[in-house]
Amino acid sequence: MNLIPLLADAGDVGAFNPTILLVWGAMFAFMWFVLIRPQRKRQKETDYLQKSIEVGDPVLLTSGMFGKVVDTVNNVLIVEIGTNKSVRVPVQRSAVVGKSEPDLSIVKEAPKED
């Protein structure tokens, strides 16, 4: 198939086509509302959560460990980890994923029927 006749039928190449501008604008708007806007919203919520941490709050770290904040120094939290309350670990505020306590309740599985 020869492309030269197809390109010749395309019309004036140098002319301004507002449809292309409209398509690019629609693509940008779609990307903004689907990707960029939700990510910014999540980042603001995470920043607010990390700034609102106080002494005594139970926290979940990015490593998956739960702990309780016992002290804060600038951008570093001293977190008690474990049930014996003797392990204290300094972590950055940015390592906190959420404020929550572990669910330590025991759930018994129903016996399987064959």
Phi, then psi, of 52 in degrees rounded to 5: -90, 5
Q: In whole angstroms, give the CA distance from residue 43 to residue 38.
A: 9
- Which pTM does this prediction carry? 0.63
What's the whole-number mean pLDDT along residues 44-54? 90
| pLDDT at residue 103 in the model | 75
pLDDT at 2 over 90: no
pLDDT at 4 over 80: no
